[in-house]
Structure 1
């Protein structure tokens, strides 16, 4: 432990330090100053006390006693909130005598106030002169060291395992029993190959195979899987469970397991993702080999999770990391893979491992002719993103009203010297299928937000204008993950012939707290309700009128699109626990597609108290004709179908989140120990199909009737009004 004693009045040049407390041995330490005695003694040196931080507790106090001075100073080492003290403290001064200046100085030295180097260099020397002049007799000023994060005291209860004498010796009988349970003495012989389970055991095996990711297998279940391993190798879903029951310390069993793994029927991506999180390198390498069976589109869909899987190898083994080499080979021949791989590694740049992989990727790409072409594109893309970053920073620093800022933005883009209005065509980072060659200055704008996100239209060689929102200061990786999951669930539902009209827009994180997302022409529900007297039907009717009273004089396909999209997003946002839902981040297109944006809160987190399980306000229900209408019954049936289908694919969603636990995404990293359990609970796999349908119906009713969210919506609307 260390502290710095800065100045005091009338002290001798010896100081005695003592730390004592209820559960801490007394530590005494003497320090001699290097300066002589003056009216104000400035020691300005650190005292290193021979005690560690983990040896002190909130009862500990620091006692400082100058030699030959009738003074003793006491100081608690912890604040009242059991956080270790940091920064400057004045001992010997009454609390009532501590001025506002002293408090502000303390906050400044703890980095709790915004700093400005130029202004601080002028102001603070004068402030310190005043403080030194006001120093009172008998006061001692000391500095505790500053830390990057607060040091919080926590007393952990350690449970010591109770060791029995029997545990210290091998139990021969039990070892024999385990061998017999796993197939007897012939467990590595031909006998197991011919084992076929009866109907009862087959049902038990299927039940084990369908266990969710978070459920462990007990000893009986492991032995059962092992015994019928040859029978199960025809079942693609059984491989992850088989690998969990292998005794990896038994070299004979490991040898047979690895041989059998290669004889197994090829498994789907859903189960393959689970293998990438295995602690066994041979299993991970097998998973890498299986990737060659999947096309570029499927590989691209799961690329964020596969990039995270690279971290299971140590940094020293990057050159031998088979997953890294596999992606280098695919990136060298496929521009889309190299594009998304580059930006995935770039957005994880805070991780030292990803920086090393990115450098290794660039070096290896340059060894291929097509790879060098890709590197040139990636370099030009990076230059464009850097220009946009600098542009947003400039706009934030300009002290003008928003209208004037928009004028300045358009003139800046139009200026040929800035090379933004027209440039040599390059693949668009957000969607490499488009070649962009400039930004349309006439439509450039700035959204109403403290982050000043830009609304930009990129010109393409085909003539299409690609609208995007570019943001600086916001981590878009969480939005990117949620949109990826919505896209994945949309594919799952469409494979079951259920198209719920999702609006899957593109999101790309390009670095630490920066990125862009595709802008979908639409209106917020808040604006529509304000413009059309609180009635969504009037909005749809004004765009697509017809003479059919059964669809409220709205074109039937438009109303059907609205109902289906409402059902789809209700189920998806419920499963992912999307929070902070209000009428400003629910949007509606002119074709009736309702969709959600801004996924800053997921997995049950919400800044507002008592959020409903689904965002389904009464205005949305009224647009379907009310709760007694046929269209509302249709809406609920779509919800039932979607929930039923997605429940059966819960392991895929769990595997995706399992690989993202250490990604650094805020809502996943905060309590990653409970993320998978919380997500698993959402699927209600403990319920039968009929019980699950009743559960969804009750959830819908609870969301529609919730009163507190309506109050919070009104408060949010007033806040938005005053903000404007």
Structure 2
């Protein structure tokens, strides 16, 4: 009895032996604490339900997660009998004098040790926290613990080195912790790991955590919620602290609710999560309950719409979406006096949907693009844009974005502002959630496609896109600065987190120059495979067009060295906070997020390059920058993705957008077209030979015409989009060629000019609804490359042998009347 621990856990295991196998197998496992919450020893009869192997639970790997009883109805029970007594047996109270100066008298300074011993101790403290200490290391730490009182971060390892946690030793341990230099709230979270089960140690940790502000508490909420599964009892100091904090801050309450909600599908944590959720809803009051109810109603409606959009025929998906969003809009409008809050943040109140602008993205899960109306008329943001996904586990995205935000705050604390763009992401249910959209941003793929299908191989697309959106020299200079800093930040962050599947649709830019990454479904080195080889072959994405922006041209400059210095500085700052970052990942290791396990945490530890000096780490990171920049496969990967996405335009409104023009243009934005004329064509190598067709566009109230340059492939896409948008209209079908070699000749280009003329003539004779549709104005909108094409040599189409000259096409626009 004297050797029993206060948190003594017994694990009954049910073994079985198959007929064809000699070895026994574990069929079920249970858990029960010998001492209950009141520290009374169990006696009498108990039925302990067992966890059994299933699709969601594996005894071999998940047994360590068991910290509570199983409440599944179909699981077997084990009957256990304890000796019955006529009296209660309680764990002896730990009596220790908190005012005693015994521990103070034993306290020493690290400088009292010789330099060799000091070096050994510091090496031991900086060793991989994931690897167990040897008996010799533990002995050395414990014997010299009095010299480490002033080294706050040494406390977790010293506690792990303790010889025993029996009741007779607890008073000395508690006295030591009482007089130890206090850990910062951030560093103290290490003591919430399952390696520290003692109730008093966890209670003291919570006292240190109370120094966190509400914003900091929200930053670490996912880890704190996971730490609840390691508490011995449902009622613990940690959950009381979180519930009390929820009463003081709506934001804390909001975060706690949704993070608990996404854990109710975890078998080993579901029971506790439900109890904590009910406790939270019971104490927060009527108005907060109403706020959460409306969020849940909104999410249920959006989830149902997702299912209906997926089940609808492709041609009917848009109509299905817009039709079913009307009742959701009505629901939001009827509560305009008390706006519904989005799960992303309690500050994001909405009062309706701009249904016509809503859409869906044509990826596998068909996520919804939602444009909410902002009830705050004082702000310049008239709308809030978000994505609702059903079918993907967003917990990986949540964790990745949380860690990027934390890295940014670590850098800011050290005085390094990398101008990072972060966005909200919340898992609202099993494989469902909402993602905040960053305004005024575009994917790298669409930026590169402005220079054609092979734009990923060119150096100028990003620079010219930034110039287009930042017309003055000062604005452009500021955008390049933003790009340089943010590119450095995301290079370090994506390297450390092992973010994979980095194609050009998962990298975005804002018009102000901020680069950021999205879609973190593949992380911690889980590289995407294609035809048996890795698609991600470099530590992070850094391409020639990015270097072109940083350098200010195609030649190396001192600005690129500044970029390298930023990367190295940011990396070394994270290395200084290695234990803190590893603790956050270690707490999430048991969250059952796909790919997050012991090996994943070891991956982070290796990425931090332990055991090397700052200068050596800088050299290694500089080499990675050089390798990433030299890699040809990254650009090839972008090109392959461009090919794969040819049939998509980026969202639901395939009929309103084109793959090579990033956004929609209208008659109102560009001006009424009054004349079109097909002129000539010319060939260009990019790097393969491509023929461009030149069209003259005249607009009302614009004295000078514009000239646009389009490939035949782009005319084909335009033709197909029109057919999808207006299936009853009769368009001239542009023929596709099955012979790619023969179709890329001069004669074929001239023949295609004939087809283009007929196609345009027929288009202009259709009803105003079609001939003046947004997609028509989008196609004929001038692009940056149209200015470059003005200097190209065109084919003399009036002189080829065997062909009559082309008459100039006077567009029927000039003959149409408009009401």
When residues 690 and 150 of structure 1 are mapped into structure 2, their CA distance, relative to the original with a 3 A threshold, is: closer
Q: Provide, for residues 662-696 of structure 1, a one-character-per-residue CA deviation record: whole Å limited to 9, x for no partner.
A: 1111121xxx2322222111111222221111101
Displacement of 1:244:
1.4
* 1:717 maps onto 2:642 in alignment: yes
Partner of 2:560: 632
Runs of 5+ unmatched residues, structure 1:
1-50, 59-146, 155-187, 549-553
The CA distance in 2 between the partners of 1:514 and 1:365, in whole Å, is 22
Pick from 470, 474, 490: which aligns with 2:392? 474
**Is residue 506 of structure 2 the alignment partner of residue 585 of structure 1?**
yes
For residues 423-572 of structure 1, the aligned pairs below 5 Å read: 423=335, 424-463=338-377, 464=381, 465-521=383-439, 522-532=441-451, 534=455, 535-547=461-473, 555-572=476-493
User: How much has 1:221 moved relative to structure 2?
Assistant: 3.6
2:494 pairs with 1:576: no
1:551-599 CA distances to partner (integer Å, 9 max, x unpaired)? xxx7221111111111111111011110010111111110000110010
Deviation at 1:634, TM superposition (A): 1.6
Task: Tell me what 2:326 maps to.
Answer: 414
SS, match of residue 53 in structure 1: coil
1:151–1:215 Cα change, 3 Å: closer
> Is the CA contact (8 Å cut-off) linking 2:184 and 2:208 kept in structure 1?
no
Matched residue, 1:674 = 599
Q: Deviations over 1:194-253 (max 9, x none)?
A: 576235133433333333422443444433433443442232212112211112245444
Deviation for aligned residue 1:420: 4.2
The alpha-carbon deviation at position 615 of structure 1 amounts to 0.8
Q: CA deviation at 1:190?
A: 7.5
Which one of the candidate residues 98, 118, 126 is aligned to 1:210? 126
Counterpart residue number, 1:120: none
| Counterpart Cα distance in 1 of 2:556 and 2:20 | 67
Distance 1:405 1:250, change over 3 A: closer
Alpha-carbon contact 2:418-2:485 (below 8 Å) kept? yes
- Aligned partners of 2:620, 2:314: CA distance in 1, in Å? 53
**Counterparts in 2 of 1:358 and 1:714: CA distance versus 1, 3 Å:** same
User: Which of 253, 257, 260 in structure 1 is aligned with 2:173?
Assistant: 257
Alignment partners' CA distance in 1, 2:503 and 2:103: 63
Q: Bigger shift: 339-348 or 351-360?
A: 351-360
Q: Distance in 2 between matches of 1:313 and 1:151?
A: 20
Distance in 2, matches of 1:54 and 1:538, equals 72
Shift of 1:264: 2.3
**Aligned-pair distance for 1:471?**
0.4
CA distance in 1 between partners of 2:421 and 2:189 (Å)? 26
**Residues of 2 paired with 1:442 and 1:651: CA distance?**
49
Match of 1:326 in 2: 241
Displacement of 1:338 in angstroms is 1.6
Deviation of 1:365 after TM superposition, in Å, equals 4.0
SS in 1 for 2:357: coil
Deviates more, 1:492-501 or 1:199-208: 199-208
Distance 1:503 1:339 in 2: 22
Quote how far apart the aligned CAs of 1:371 are. Answer: 3.2
Q: Secondary structure at the match of 1:510?
A: strand
Q: 1:149, CA displacement in angstroms? A: 5.8
The answer to whether the 8 A contact 2:251-2:346 is kept is yes
Residue 331 of structure 1 contacts residue 371 of structure 1 at CA under 8 Å; is this kept in 2?
no
Structure 2 counterpart of 1:355, from 262, 267, 270: 270
- Check conservation: 2:394, 2:425, Cα contact below 8 A: yes
CA contact (8 A) 1:246 1:254 kept: no
Change (3 A) 1:150 1:357: closer
- Number of residue-to-residue matches in the alignment: 539
- The 8 Å contact of residues 342 and 358 in structure 1, kept in 2 or not, is answered as no
Q: Do the aligned partners of residues 648 and 302 (structure 1) sit closer, same or farther apart at CA in structure 2, a change above 3 Å counting?
A: same
The match for 1:656 is 584
Shift of 1:544: 1.4
**3-state DSSP of counterpart to 1:467:** strand
2:306 is the alignment partner of 1:306: no
SS at match of 1:456: strand
Supply the distance in 2 between the matched residues of 1:556 and 1:631 (Cα, whole angstroms).
12
**Which has the larger displacement, 193-202 or 441-450?**
193-202
The yes-or-no answer on 1:285 pairing with 2:200 is no
* Cα distance in 2 for residues equivalent to 1:55 and 1:285: 51
The answer to whether the 8 A contact 1:577-1:605 is kept is: yes
The within-5 A match list for 1:47-62 is 52-53=17-18, 55-56=20-21
Are residues 472 and 194 of structure 1, via their aligned partners in 2, closer, same or farther at CA, if it must alter by over 3 Å? closer
Is the 8 Å Cα contact of residues 305 and 656 (structure 1) preserved in structure 2? yes
Q: Residues 293, 149 of structure 1: CA spacing in aligned structure 2 closer, same or farther, 3 A cutoff?
A: closer
SS in 2 for 1:468: strand
Q: Pairwise mapping of residues 109-258 of structure 1 onto structure 2 (< 5 A)? A: 192-194=106-108, 197-200=112-115, 201-258=117-174
**Greater Cα offset, 273-282 or 594-603:** 273-282
RMSD: 2.9
Note the C-alpha offset of 1:334: 2.1
1:593-632 to structure 2, matched below 5 A, reads 593-608=514-529, 609-610=533-534, 611-624=537-550, 625-626=553-554, 628-632=556-560
Contact kept, 8 Å, 1:454 with 1:471, in 2: the verdict is yes
Per the alignment, residue 80 of structure 2 pairs with none
Partner of 1:123 in structure 2?
none
Classify 1:563/1:56 alpha carbon distance in 2 versus 1 (closer, same or farther; 3 Å).
same
- 1-side partners of 2:306 and 2:515: how far apart? 30
Q: What secondary structure does 1:577 align onto?
A: coil
Give 1:353 deviation, angstroms.
Answer: 5.1
**Mapped contact 1:296–1:337 kept (Cα < 8 A):** yes
2:570 corresponds to which residue? 642
2:279 is matched with 364
1:416–1:676 distance in 2 versus 1, CA, 3 Å: closer
Query: Distance in 2 between the 1:194 and 1:148 partners?
Result: 54
> Residue 190 of structure 2 is aligned with which of 255, 274, 280?
274
2:646 partner SS: helix
Secondary structure, in 3 states, of the residue corresponding to 1:615? coil
Matched position secondary structure for 2:139 = helix
* Cα deviation, residue 367, structure 1: 5.0
* Alpha-carbon spacing, 1:562–1:598, altered in 2? closer, same or farther (3 Å): same
CA distance in 2, matches of 1:648, 1:392: 44
- SS of 1:478's equivalent in the other structure is helix
The alignment partner of 1:500 has SS state of coil
1:91-133: CA deviations, max 9, x gaps? xxxxxxxxxxxxxxxxxxxxxxxxxxxxxxxxxxxxxxxxxxx
In structure 2, the gaps of 5 or more residues are 1-15, 24-52, 61-101, 456-460, 650-819
Asked if structure 1 preserves the Cα contact closer than 8 Å seen for 2:332 and 2:340, the reply is: no
Distance 2:506 2:281 in 1: 43
Q: CA deviation at 1:460?
A: 3.1
Aligned to 2:257: 342
Q: Which moved more, 1:359-368 or 1:433-442?
A: 359-368
Contact 1:192 1:227 in 2 (8 A): no
